[in-house]
Copies of this chain bind each other. A is one copy, B any other.
Amino acid sequence: MRWLRFSRQGRIAYGMLDGERVIEVNGTPWGEHERTGSVHDLADITFEVPVIPNTLYCAGSNYTKHILAVAAQTGKPPNLPTSPHIGYRANNGLVAHNAAVIIPADATPQVHYEGELVVVIGKRARNLTRDEAMSCVFGYTIGNDVSERSWQKSDRTMWRAKNADTFNPMGPWIETDADVAKMETIVRVNGHVHTHFKTDEMLFDIPTFISDISTYMTLQPGDVIWMGTDGHSPDLVDGDEVAIEITGIGTLVNRFEKQKA
């Protein structure tokens, strides 16, 4: 089942995707909901971010090749983690499928994509073991953790390097029936494949992250965990279209535009 959050004529709602149609519902996918009776053509709706999380968790340094590539880029020695690196992103950076990513006027040319599997939490959860961890997962979507590498190197936090407005596209929808072991992540820039990796070749897997997070934090329905990325992006410029496909989920497409100075 694919759940999407959409707007139409100024209203935002959830809907279930049925081919090229969207069956509108009241409520949330993980809570009580019922069909409104309205059905829309997919071509007539605007995609919205599939969920505004209470907390947006993310994995840092979770794929080997990406860690080596970033080390080469920043000139720092590669730092392979011995435990999951858990971080956050800010909700202000979220934008939907088809929305523009605005490259800030003073950004350097080192603006990169990071194609990531996003885990969507469906149940309140605390103190889950690795074996119990997947019981709180509702489904999966796709994230692009856009990064300005010079700010990532120079700033003490990733506040603007990874959280500037529009730097966190997420979507297009939430897929509830997906098998992570079979997924491949394929990132195309202007139609050409630039990155291709097996999505589940993570250093630390989803149950490990959920178990570790839930040792100290209560996961809430609608929280999301971005699972990190592999590979390396070219420098992105005004007009580039980045399409992140994760097989079994779908494709998140965003066009990059340089902010007018």
Contacts and interface: CB of A to CB of B under 8 A. Distances in A.
A87 interface: yes
A64 interface: no
Interface residues of A, number: 32
A60 B165 CA distance: 21
Given A52-B54, A54-B52, A160 B90 contact: no
Interface in A185-224: 213, 215-220, 223
A223 B91 CA distance: 10
Given A104-B216, A164-B216, A165-B217, A90 B55 contact: yes
A85 interface: yes
Contact of A60 (B55, B104, B156): B156
Contacts of A52: 54
A87 B159 contact: yes
- State the oligomeric state as a number of copies: 2
Given A86-B157, A157-B60, A157-B85, A55 B91 contact: yes
Nearest to A167: B216
A140 to B, nearest CB: 21
A30 interface: no
Contact of A92 (B85, B104, B218): B218
Nearest to A163: B217
A193 to B, nearest CB: 31
B90 A156 contact: no
Interface string A59-95: 0100000000000000000000100011111111100
Given A52-B54, A54-B52, A88 B216 contact: no
Contacts of A163: 88, 216-217
Given A164-B216, A165-B217, A92 B55 contact: yes
Contacts of A57: 90
A164 B87 CA distance: 12
A247 to B, nearest CB: 30
A166 to B, nearest CB: 10
9 cross-chain pairs, A with B, having the tightest CB-CB distances, nearest first: A164-B216, A86-B159, A160-B216, A55-B90, A87-B157, A92-B217, A55-B92, A54-B91, A55-B91
7 contacts: A52-B54, A54-B91, A85-B156, A87-B157, A90-B217, A160-B215, A165-B216
Interface of A: 52, 54-55, 57, 60, 81, 85-93, 104, 126, 156-157, 159-160, 163-165, 213, 215-220, 223
